[in-house]
Each structure stands twice: as C-alpha cells, then as structure tokens.
C-alpha cells in the first residue's frame, strides 16, 4: 500500500519529469561547452536510512536503493568522461550499527561486486576498481568478492574507481605514517634523520589512494555539511558541493547541476 505522501511525490514527479528532462539537456549542453571537468570526484553517499524511513521502507531496502544509485552515478561519470571516482560506502564508525544492518551491507557489497563483474559496460569502459579502507573484519565471502573485482580489473586503463569500505580519514593517515616509519626503519634510516627530511609527499605515497590524483570535487548528499573524515589529507584544496537530497533520491539533474557549479568556481589552491 503506497502512502498518500509517496503517491503525492509520484504524481509530482510525473508532472515535472518533462521539465527536468529539458533542464538536464540544458545543463549537459552548458557542461560540454565549458569543457572543464573534475578529474577526480569524491562522493559521500549519505541518507540511505533516512530515505527508507521517509518512504516507509526498512533500512535494508534503503541501502539496496543506495547501491543502485551508485551504479547510476558511475554511469553518469562514464558518460561525461570523468577519469577518477571515489565512492564512500561504509565508514569505520558504521561498524557500530545494528548487527543485522551491518551484515546486510556486507552481503550487499559482495552482491554488487559480483554483478559489476558481469556487466558488459563495466568491462567495455575498462573500469579499474580499488577497494580502499580496512576490510579485514568483513566476512570471507565479501572479502573474496571485493578482491576478485580488484584482480579482474587490475590491468584496466579506463575510469579509476575507488570504493571506500571500512574507511576513516584519520585511520588512513595513521596507517600511512605507520607504513612509512616501518619502511624507513627497514632501510636503516633513524628517526632523527627521517623527521628532518619528512615531506607531505612522503606521507602521500603511503595513503590508500597513492598514485591517484587528489579529488578536485567532493559531493555529499542528505543535507549534511561536513566531511565526516572523508579523504581528510587529499581534500585540502577540493571544491565541495552539499546536496539536500538523500542519496537514493539523488537525480541526474542534481549531479549535472553540481558539475556546472564546479565549472563556475575559480580554484586558487590557497594562492
């Protein structure tokens, strides 16, 4: 049974769909005329649970809708020619949620990885996948599915897709510094010498995203105006866009409007 609220939303979207289609076309034409695109887009996919509550679904269904939206957004990025995308799907703090929700998310990650591997457009566009974060506590089946898609796409040279799972920005920086210290110690370098010569580039080489350009542009949905630890090191000079829509409700027109706003900004990099 569809609630009156949901029915009203459906009727409104049916009536306004032609207008949004025209608006999308105008935005896309303007984006193509400008030509300037973010090289690397980071996306904080927020609002699955609130979307589910809003439309009368359970939390698991909200995450399922969110997973489908992630596939849509990946298609939009491919169509525009964006070369790097990082999607944040599961934070270190998310581990403390209800166990049934966490288990559903683990199963969903495995399911999505297996489905992507079977999708022709994914291979036709040579999308290379890298999982960033700590997934050692994920179920073995989920880890295997994620490692399989990494391995299958390792040699691809198309869009580079980072999927942030078990990810936290502070944890990433701590991990990078630990790895740096261990590597330098193995080379016989003493701590005093290291501290005198240490640079930001040295630390960057040990981040999860090593070898990937820093994000030019970060989009967060659900109306929250904060990073919540997303790519803390890498976003020093990123442009940000905060959208009120919950992640499953994020439309192509919202995405294109965000890209258009990015094009209109002047990036100064602190200068």
End-to-end C-alpha distance for the chain, whole angstroms? 57
CA distance linking residue 126 with residue 118, whole number of Å: 13
Quickly list DSSP for 187-220: TT--HHHHHHH--HHHHHTTSTTTTSPPPSEEEE
Q: Are 234 and 209 in contact, with CB atoms under 8 Å apart?
A: yes
Q: Are 182 and 240 in contact, with CB atoms under 8 Å apart?
A: no
**What ranges make up the beta strands (E) of 10-83?**
40-44
Instruction: Select which of 58, 94, 125, 202 is catalytic.
Output: 94
The DSSP 8-state label assigned to residue 59 in this structure reads: H
Which residues, other chains included, contact 121 with Cβ-Cβ below 8 Å and sequence gap of 6+?
A: 75, 78
* 137: annotated active-site residue: no
CA distance linking residue 242 with residue 221, whole number of Å: 6
In SS3 terms, 98-127 reads as CHHHHHHHHHHHHHHHHHHHCCHHHHHCCC
CA distance linking residue 89 with residue 102, whole number of Å: 12
Task: Enumerate the β-bridge partners of residue 130.
Answer: 162
State the Cα angle at 33 between 27 and 35, rounded to 5°: 100
* 94: annotated active-site residue: yes
Instruction: Select which of 46, 214, 216, 254 is catalytic.
Output: 46
Catalytic positions, please?
46, 94
């Amino acid at each position: 049974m569809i609630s009156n609220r949901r029915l009203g939303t459906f009727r409104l979207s049916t009536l306004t769909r032609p207008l949004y289609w025209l608006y999308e076309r105008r935005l896309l034409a303007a984006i193509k005329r400008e030509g300037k695109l973010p090289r690397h887009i980071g996306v904080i996919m927020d609002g699955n649970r609130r979307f589910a509550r809003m439309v009368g679904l359970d939390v698991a269904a909200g995450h399922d809708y969110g997973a489908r939206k992630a596939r849509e957004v990946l298609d939009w990025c491919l169509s525009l020619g964006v070369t790097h995308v990082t999607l944040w799907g599961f934070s270190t703090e998310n581990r403390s949620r209800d166990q049934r929700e966490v288990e559903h998310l683990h199963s969903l990650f495995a399911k999505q990885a297996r489905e992507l591997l079977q999708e022709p457009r994914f291979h036709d566009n040579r999308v290379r996948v890298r999982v960033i974060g700590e997934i050692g506590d994920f179920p073995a089946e989920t880890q295997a599915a994620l490692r399989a898609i990494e391995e299958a796409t390792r040699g691809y040279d198309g869009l580079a897709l980072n999927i942030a799972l078990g990810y936290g920005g502070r944890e990433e920086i701590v991990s990078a510094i630990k790895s740096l210290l261990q590597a330098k110690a193995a080379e016989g370098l003493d701590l005093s010498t290291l501290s005198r010569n240490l640079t930001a580039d040295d630390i960057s080489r040990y981040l999860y995203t090593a070898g990937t350009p820093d994000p030019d542009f970060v989009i967060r949905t659900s109306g929250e105006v904060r990073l919540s630890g997303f790519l803390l090191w890498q976003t020093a000079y990123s442009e940000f866009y905060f959208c009120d829509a919950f992640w499953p409700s994020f439309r192509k027109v919202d995405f294109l409007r965000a890209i258009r706003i990015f094009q209109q900004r002047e990036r100064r990099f602190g200068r």
